[in-house]
Structure 1
Amino acid sequence: MLSPVVGVAAQTIADMNGAHMEVFPVEDGLFEETFISDSVYKFCGEEFKITQAFSANLGVAAPVWDAALHLCRFFEANEVPLKGKKIIELGAGTGIVGILAARLGADVTITDLPLAVPQLKINVSNNTPPGGWPSGEPTVAPLSWGQDQENFPSDWDLVLGADIVYLADTYPLLVETLSHLCKHGAVVYLSSKMRREHGAPRFFDYDLPQRFSVEVVQRDAEQNINIHRATIRKDV
């Protein structure tokens, strides 16, 4: 779950071609020491123990962010049918949204950049239901937007993301990835802190509508978090 922090510098990693790209925005001195924190959450009658591996390596991919909790509560409050659905989560971070969907009976693939995959696998393992996963254990896989989305199918029912709209340079890559994943009609739910300094309003008002029909289905004015629902446009 990759989310910006105000006034951050960008951590870099080498991409597949050896060039460097900005991935995790991290604040100077943030997470200088590695430590593990476990938090317990309850949604839809299910309890989740989520490990957050705070470190300079993961940066702000480590925590559970409010936008993810909002999306979980939205599914709970609106009784969004997830059982039997084929779902992929993007930029999952801790994986709480995808894990909730899997615990409720969805066939789930949870993705993020390679650095976040170990944390995701730990959380999937730690949240295995006593009776096993209803539709199988969630698949955890690396997915770099704009690079390897073609390795994933396009027959999803739902595409989910929480606080993944945080760096303007990645917005075209995110739209490209969503367009591939939604070719056959998947519904997208994106829960986002609407940070103007990171151009989040522009993404939802301009970038995403280039390829998708977009609507706000929930607005929390106090925390400045929106949940958007999007479907791919047939007229472009």
Structure 2
Amino acid sequence: MSSIENKDRTLEEQKHEFCGHSLNITMFKGAALGVSAYIWGPGLVLCQYFQDEKFDFTGKKVLELGSGTGIVGILTVLLGGDVTMTDRPRILSQIEHNVDANVPAESRARSKISALAWGTDQDKYPTDFDFILGSDLVYSPSQFPDLLQTLLYFCSEKTTIYLCSNLNARMGAYDFHNELLPKHFDSETLHQIGGDCVYKLTKKTPLETIDRV
């Protein structure tokens, strides 16, 4: 890990290796990015899961919500995906920096970076994604309605959602995953390390949804 002072922020770099790819991820600490300026455990656990399960996203359209540093989305690009990484506007420069540092020029066309506010402007995006990814999105109950609305908007019958959350350290995370999401999605716990759990979600059929009401 290394850090460099840069005007009003500290650039701190972490190196990780997944799926045979060395990732040099820079965190823009002190740049008013809040929690988005950190690499959190759930992101690393989701990357490790992709490695363990030998994921190949070649030819697949992928949307990442709350990309933060971009580590999950960048790995997904390197695994062949056509990836749109999203977050709040002020976070995008951090993602752009890490994409430039880690994605080869010949693969850059498969990485897109765009602002997306949950529950507000998701309808500006297409709904033909094969995969939706998110790590450590579930940490503030006030955001749960908007996050749920966004997931429902993007999830079609062909979409698979992978979320990784820390159930022990994030307020309301257990109830979100085990009570709220199962009302709308078929949910499966795939992997767990400590409090970090990887979930797979698919859209319920209309009949299943009625049965849950």
Q: Structure 2 length normalisation: TM-score?
A: 0.89
The number of equivalent residue pairs is 200
1:73 maps to what in 2?
Answer: 48
Report the CA distance between 1:195 and its aligned residue.
3.0
Preserved CA contact (<8 Å) 2:43 2:164: yes
- Is the alpha carbon distance of 1:164 and 1:197 closer, same or farther for their aligned partners in structure 2, counting shifts above 3 Å? closer
1:228 corresponds to which letter in structure 2?
Answer: Y
Matching of residue 89 in structure 1 with residue 64 in structure 2: yes
2:134 corresponds to which letter in structure 1?
Answer: G
- Is the alpha carbon distance of 1:46 and 1:56 closer, same or farther for their aligned partners in structure 2, counting shifts above 3 Å? closer
**What is the alpha-carbon distance in structure 1 between the residues aligned to residue 96 and residue 170 of structure 2?**
32
Q: Could you report, residue by residue, the CA deviation over 1:150-195 in whole angstroms, capped at 9, with x for unpaired residues?
A: 0111111110000010000111111110111112421000011113
1:52 corresponds to which letter in structure 2?
Answer: M
2:11 maps to what in 1?
Answer: 36
- Is the alpha carbon distance of 1:60 and 1:205 closer, same or farther for their aligned partners in structure 2, counting shifts above 3 Å? same
**What is the alpha-carbon distance in structure 1 between the residues aligned to residue 40 and residue 16 of structure 2?**
12
- Is the alpha carbon distance of 1:66 and 1:234 closer, same or farther for their aligned partners in structure 2, counting shifts above 3 Å? same
Matches within 5 A, 1:107-122: 107-122=82-97
Preserved CA contact (<8 Å) 2:56 2:80: no
1:148 maps to what in 2?
Answer: 121
Matches within 5 A, 1:1-236: 34-55=9-30, 57-129=32-104, 132-133=106-107, 136-195=109-168, 198-221=171-194, 224-235=195-206, 236=209
Report the CA distance between 1:197 and its aligned residue.
5.7
Q: Report the 3-state secondary structure (helix = DSSP H, G, I; strand = E; otherwise coil) of the residue aligned with 1:132.
A: helix
Q: Report the 3-state secondary structure (helix = DSSP H, G, I; strand = E; otherwise coil) of the residue aligned with 1:231.
A: strand
Q: Higher helix proportion, which one? A: 2
Preserved CA contact (<8 Å) 1:212 1:233: yes
Unaligned residue ranges in structure 1 (runs of 5+): 1-32
**What is the alpha-carbon distance in structure 1 between the residues aligned to residue 114 and residue 157 of structure 2?**
21
Preserved CA contact (<8 Å) 2:81 2:110: no
**What is the alpha-carbon distance in structure 2 between the residues aligned to residue 197 and residue 115 of structure 1?**
23
Preserved CA contact (<8 Å) 1:154 1:180: yes
Preserved CA contact (<8 Å) 1:172 1:207: no
**What is the alpha-carbon distance in structure 2 between the residues aligned to residue 206 and residue 195 of structure 1?**
16
Report the CA distance between 1:34 and its aligned residue.
2.5
**What is the alpha-carbon distance in structure 2 between the residues aligned to residue 159 and residue 47 of structure 1?**
23
Preserved CA contact (<8 Å) 1:154 1:184: no
- Is the alpha carbon distance of 1:228 and 1:183 closer, same or farther for their aligned partners in structure 2, counting shifts above 3 Å? same
Report the CA distance between 1:41 and its aligned residue.
1.1
**What is the alpha-carbon distance in structure 2 between the residues aligned to residue 125 and residue 208 of structure 1?**
35
Unaligned residue ranges in structure 2 (runs of 5+): 1-7
